[in-house]
Amino acid sequence: MMVAHDVGVFIFSSTAAIFGEPQYVPIDEAHPKAPINPYGRSKWMVEQILEDFDTAYGLKAVALRYFNAAGADPEGRLGERHDPETHLIPLVLRAASGRREHITVFGADYDTPDGTCVRDYIHVNDLCEVHLRALERLLAGGGSDRFNLGNGRGFSVQEVIDAAERVTGRKVPVVRGERRAGDPARLVADSKHARSALGWEPRYADLDTIIAHAWEWERRIAGL
């Protein structure tokens, strides 16, 4: 339908899940694609379809591969409100606010500094900015491209919990659980391509800032 109505540019929300178990970190755009779940496979399928449509019809597309979107609008207007919630930071903050009994840490024996999984958290406002820059690039005549989006630094589950306690001034109840199948020890983005091609730089790369914005949203929802 886009081709039929002469809509020539497309921004696609992709994911780090297209890479599957990382062969190296940080993960750049050239990393092998080997998704291990339907979510990652479906995203990788669409990326390949978009490449075909560029070749066949000239439809220009940018795929933005999010790592872990986090945080909330700094002005408190929008934030994460999933049902059920599955993301680590809001779950940790729900435990801090009392809306959840505890947070379960799945595995503490990974090959990481503190034994818990390491992930790359990128503030949602930084994602918004890179969307705009990617669209502007396409509208200016730029070609199709793919970008891995993260801060380029990983934080462990334990570091997230520690930061949440530091920011909120509250204790986060923790229960230790077994490892979950398919959880890599480290997922960290190499975002050099986005920084170079789009002139983009994350503004909210500090973990405490990401959590502070999410905490203000949680306080609003919890009525604190």
66 as an active site residue: the answer is no
Phi-psi region at 167: left, alpha or beta (left = phi > 0; alpha = psi -120 to 50): alpha
Burial class of 123 by CB neighbour count within 10 A (0 to 12, 13 to 18, 19+): buried
Which is the catalytic residue, given 24, 39, 66, 121? Answer: 39
Yes or no: say if 52 and 101 are a contact pair by the CB < 8 Å rule: no
* Residues paired with 122 in a beta bridge: 69
Amino acid, single-letter form, for residue 111: D
Helical packing angle, 88-97 and 157-168, nearest 10°: 40
Catalytic residue ranges: 39
